[in-house]
Structures are given as C-alpha cells and as structure tokens.
Amino acid sequence: MKRLVPLLALLLIGSTLVFADETTEVYKRLFLQAQNLSQKYAEALNLVQLQDPSVAPVLSDALTQLLRTQENYGRPSDKALYASTVRVVAQALGDYKYLDAAPALWDSVQQIADPLVKADALIALGKMHATDYAERIALLLRDLDFKPTQDPDYGEKVAYGAIFALEKLRDIRGFSPVFFASVGWYSQRVRQEAAQALPNIVDDPTDPIMSIIQTESSDRKVLALRAELNSNAPNDRKIQASTYALSIGQKMAPTDPADARQLANLRKLALNALIVFKAKNPDAVPYCVYSYKNGYDSEERLLALAALGANGTDPAAAALSDIILRLDSDQQAGITGDTRDRMAKAAIENAGLTGNKLLKPALITVAADNNWSDGIILAAQKALKALP
Amino acid sequence: MRKVSISLLVVSLALAGFLASCASSAPSAAAAPAKVRKERTVIVPVPVLVKETSYYSDGQLDQYIVYTYDPSKKLLLEKDTYDPSQAAPMERVVSEWKNGQLAADVFYDRDGKVKFRHDYGYDAAGRLASDTVTDGKGRPSSSSTYTYDAAGDKIEWRVFDAAGILDAVTSYAYGAPGPDGAALPVLVTMKDPGGAVTGTIKLAYGPDGKLQRRDYLNPDGSLRKSELYAYQPAAPYGPVSMELLRADGSISEKTTYQSGDLGQILEATDSDGSGAIRGVTKYEYIVRDDTHTNVYYE
C-alpha cells in the first residue's frame, strides 16, 4: 500500500520522503520467487497496488510463464486462483499500458477458458492501445454477435471486454461488430455498452453503416441509420448515408407487412435527415419524388415534399413544379379530396421555401385557378412572394 | 510516471514549506535576551488533490480519478477511477478511518466486488505498526510490520506471507537531519529471511533536504539504476522532473512537471528514453486553509 502508508508516515513523523522506493523492489523479488500459485497471487496483489509502471516487464514475463504452466492448474480450486492471478496481472499491464505484453494478453484471450480472464485481457489490450489487435478483436466480437453462446453469461462477459477494447482502440474495423452487439442477443447492459461505444470508435462511421444498410434486415437498417445520425460524422456524410438509405428503402421488396413498416420507417428517417441537414444534393431528388408518389402513408409523402423544399436545387424545384402542376391539372379535372388538398398545400409551401424562381409558373397557375379553395390560393400567393 | 510519488510529493511540499516557515521563525543563537516569546496564528493554504485526469499521447482521454474527502478535507474517504465511457467507476478504494487513523482501505472492482483490503494497526505512539492484506474472499494474503527507533524514525519493515512466515526484511539507516530537523534516510537495505542482502538503495539530498538522487544497487554493490529529481530553484519549490537512469547513465524514462503557486503538481508528462511522450496527467485541487500557530520573538 504505497499510496497511503508513506503519506501517513509523512504526517506522523513529519519528514519528507521518508519511505524510499524499496516497496517495489521487495515485492518484485517476492513475486519472482513465489513458488506456488497462492504465493504468486498474493505477491501479484502487492505488486500491482504499488501503481509503479517499472514492474510491468516483470508482470509481462510472469503472464507468459503463467500461460506456459496453465496445465499445472487443472483442479477447480487451482483454476479459480489461476484465473484470479492472471486477471490481476492483465489489469495491471493494461493500466501501465505496457505494449510489449500485448502478445501474451492476446494469448490469454485465446488460451484461457475463464471468460473474466478473456474480458480483462481484452480490456487491457484496449487500454494500452494495442492497435495491431483491433482486427482480431473485431472478428472475435463478430463471431460472438452471431448467436448466443452455449452459456450466455460466458458470451456476455467476453463481449463486454471486446466492446470496451474496440472503443479504446478507435479503429473503424471495430464499428460493425460493436454495432451488431448493440442490437444483438446480449443483455441490456452489454447492448447499452455497445451503443454508447459506437460514437467513440470512429468519428465518421458512414462507410460501415452504408454497408450495414445494404446487407442487413430492415429493422437493423433503421438502427444503423440512427447510429449514423447520432455519430460525429460531418453533415455531408450523413446526407450521403441518408440518401443511400432512402434508395435502399425504396429498392427493397418488403417480405411482410411488418417489414414494409420498417422500410417505411427507414425512408421517413432518411427524409427527415435530408430536411434537417437541408440536403442540397441533386441525387436525392428522384428518391424524394418516388417517396412522394409511392409513399407508405401521408407522412412519408409530406416528408418527401419537405425534403424537396429544403433541397431547393433546380432539379428539386423542377420536381416540385411538376407535382404542383399535376395536382392543379387533377383539380381542374375534378379529382379532389382532403389528402390531395394537404399535399397541394404542402407542395406549395415547400415551393416557397426553395427560393427558386423555376417554381413561379406553377405557383402562378395555382394562384389563378379558381377551382382551388381560398386557403390554397392564398398559400400560392404567399409562396410567390417568397420567390426572387 | 509514479502517481504515488506525486501525491506524496504534493503533501511533502506543503508540509516542508510549513515546517520551514516555522523553523525560520525560531530564535537564533544571537537573539537578544530581552525579546519575548510571542505566538501568532497563520493560515496556511494546503492544496488538496480532487481530480486526476490521464491522457494518451495523442490527446485522447484515458481515465480520470476522483478523490473524495471528509468535510475537513483532511481525510481521504474514497478514490474512484473512471473510464470516460463508463458511468460507474472501474475501481473504488474506500478508506475507513477510526480515531483519526486510517483503519482500512478496501478495493472494489467494476462490479462492486471487493478485490482486496488492507487493515492497518498502530503502536502506542500512533505510528503505523502493521498492514494486513486479505483477498476478496477474506483470506489472508500477506502482511507487513514496521518498527521505529526512539526518535520515531522507521528502522525496519518486515513482510510475511499468508501463513505468517517471514518473507523479507528491510532496514533503514539515517544520515544528518534536514534543515527542518527531520531525519533523512540515506540507506535502505533489503534482505531475504535468511539475512542475505538482496539489494540496497542509496539516497542523496540537496542542502534544502529534498531528495535529489536514488541509486539502486545489486547485492554485489554494482549500480542497477538511478532516479534523479530536480526542483524549481525558488518558491513555490515545485518539482521539475524525475529521470530514471539505466546503470550506464542513459535515460530510460522521464517525467516532467508543471507546478502551481503552492508547489502542487498541475501537470505531469511522461516520456520514454528517446523523449517521445507516452502520456500526460493533469491534476486539479481545492485549497484547504489550515490554521497554525507560529512562534516568534520580539
């Protein structure tokens, strides 16, 4: 107990630095000379409490030796003590960020069955920024994500360590497995841990998220897009992912009504993002038009019109103009209804928001068409005033 | 960087400064007999460490430690280590105090389970006499006893294993006292239970009584490694650096410090032998106002 004992002695005796650094020297020797496992464990405890990084090489060698002698500790009581000893050593190596110990820690993950040992070794690899192991840890978590382990508690513990490590390693290869952990079979604690880790792993997860949106189930597509929108990615990348999600949400044929709802949710989330970020990308326009024409419900169609209004580019203005003129032509033909009125009003209001003069002819047409209600005509006049 | 040494150093500096101020107020041999003894109460600001934040070399936040004290801000009650992404501490150390003495330190893991605990015993003079370590299941792990001389200086530390069998004996020898009158250890001798020397540490101090150098010697007396300490030349006397040298004199690691007005360490930067930064730790304090009585003559 190096921290408080000297402090206490200092206060009691009234001297400075009374206790030299002999504690490390003594405990290091005792650790190296420990004959049996219980001695080794006791001395390891003493050694790691010193919080002295100079003991890291000794601990690293000890870990290697423990791995070599694992077979000697087959009895259940020995196994538990063996695991405790390795855990103490692994934790300290992580705290000291002793990178030279990374191979031995990875060997511990692979060779020792105890899930808490695996978890602590993984955590240590993360803490020491052992980036060479990012891919291996990502693959390990990916395999765990597939399905619950025979003993779910085992998988939970190892997954927790892997998630922690990947968060610390901040390697983009860790994003997908941690994402799948956040929506996987694990307990809420592990899923939450994974969800919280996601924004810390990489600032811009757009590429792995687009890959998830392309290949995964509809509900996971929605969650992936949410993760993108919650990430620290720049807005243009979020727009890119949203546009992609919108396109995928339209291309996919739903397998059943529930799937159709999820795909609609994906499209609505994407459209909403395009509105919030005032996406000006022309490539989003055809997908907005598609959602307007084929939307799952009025909400999706209205969001599509709002996205076109927020876009405001010439292609978006041209699309809105076509929509307004088509609605006007229907109105003149006597095809009316509340829903059509709501769409017309929304299209007109969003036309005003574009600030694009390409919409003037369409708005003038509506404003001069007495088939419309006063409210619609007034909206068209107001929108016209907003245009240059 | 040695976190332990830092907290020790901070308190050392505050205490040394206080003692030095007391000493400077004492009468000199040439003091006129007509002068009378008087006392005055002074407020001594003492920095109290409340937070310690570590960063990786790339600036990424590594972890932080929060220290909690009793209302007097003198007794450390809890030390919680957090990972920035976790709401719950990765480790908690809860200190138990009895009659103003530290009775125990209990270490908890991230799941709230006891990892191990230390129980401390004291002699009649209130000096630390024993330290018993038990594991999370309450099984004895090891223990230590401490012996002091008549002057109250520690002269021996004995380590015992779980069965109570002697493992190691460390003895302390003192040289001339420092400017504040306190004994300064100059030689630490470590022995195995049979009495064979396993290593020695030689300590050297500057004229101000501050530790300047620590040499670690092998049993045959050859130099194994050294630690060099440097301090600011003037008030607030904060440390500047600590260098760890190999036997050939080359630097194996170095910690440089930035200190505050009260000599407290504000920042410590760890680098390796080539000078590459390995990490940075920043320290935050609150200031406790201690009241002391100074004696003077006029």
Q: For B48-82, how does the pLDDT look when each residue is reduced to its tens digit (9 = 90+)?
A: 999 999 999 989 899 999 999 999 999 999 999 99
Contact B184 A1 (CB under 8 A): no
Domains of chain B by start residue, with CATH: 3-297 (2.40.160)
CA-nearest of B285, B284, B258 to B269 is: B258
Per-residue pLDDT of A63-77, as tens digits, reads 999 999 999 898 888
Q: Residue for token digits 């901070």?
A: B10
Which of residues 7 through 66 in chain A touch B, CB cutoff 8 A?
Answer: 7-22, 25-27, 29-30, 38-39, 41-43, 45-46, 49-54
Positive/negative CA dihedral, B288, B289, B295, B298: positive
pLDDT tens across A89-135, in order?
999 999 999 999 999 999 999 999 999 999 999 999 999 999 999 99
Residues 6+ apart with CB under 8 A from A157: A115, A116, A118, A119
Helical packing angle, A314-332 and A285-294, nearest 10°: 20
* Predicted local distance difference test score (pLDDT) of residue B236: 64
What is the rounded distance in angstroms from the CA atom of residue B182 to the CA atom of residue B200? Answer: 22
The single-letter code of the amino acid at A76 is P
A312, two tokens: 């405001």
pLDDT at B235: 61
To the nearest 10°, the Cα dihedral for A184, A189, A192, A198?
A: -80
* Residue with tokens 């990615």, as numbered in its chain: A233
A1 touches chain B (CB under 8 A): yes
On the question of pLDDT at A347 being above 90, the answer is yes
State which residue of chain B sits closest to A169, comparing Cα positions: B60
Contact present, A69 and A37 (Cβ < 8 Å): no
Q: Report the chain A residue with the minimal C-alpha distance to residue B179.
A: A15
Of B216, B207, B215, B243, the residue nearest B228 (C-alpha): B243
What is the rounded average pLDDT for all residues in chain A?
A: 91
Which 162-191 residues of chain A touch chain B by CB within 8 A? 164, 167, 170
pLDDT score for A8? 31
A90 Cα to chain B: minimum distance (Å): 14
User: Got the DSSP string for A125-187?
Assistant: HHHTT-GGGHHHHHHHHHHHHHS--SSHHHHHHHHHHHHHHHHHHT-GGGHHHHHHHHTSSS-
Per-residue pLDDT tens for B89-131?
A: 999 999 999 999 999 999 999 889 999 999 999 999 999 999 9
Cis peptide before A208 (omega within 30 of 0): no
pLDDT at residue A27, as a whole number: 92
Average pLDDT over residues A146-166: 96
By Cβ distance, the residue of B3, B4, B152 closest to A13 is B152
Residue A19, pLDDT > 50, answer: no
Taking one residue from A and the other from B, the number of pairs with CB-CB distance under 8 angstroms is 149
The full length of chain A comes to 388
In terms of C-beta distances under 8 Å and separation of at least 24 residues, what long-range contacts does A249-252 make, across chains too?
A249/A221, A250/A287, A250/A290, A250/A291, A250/A294, A252/A218
Select the residue from B8, B149, B288 to test the A interface by mutation, using most A Cβ atoms within 10 A: B8
Chain A interface, mutation test: which of B58, B82, B85, most A Cβ atoms within 10 Å? B85
pLDDT single digits (tens) B127-170: 999 999 998 889 898 999 999 999 999 999 999 999 999 999 99
- Cβ(A181)–Cβ(A159) below 8 Å: yes
Contact B141 A45 (CB under 8 A): yes
Q: Which residues of B touch A53 (CB under 8 A)?
A: 1-2
How far is A46 from B226, CA to CA, in rounded Å? 23
Percent of chain A with pLDDT over 70: 95
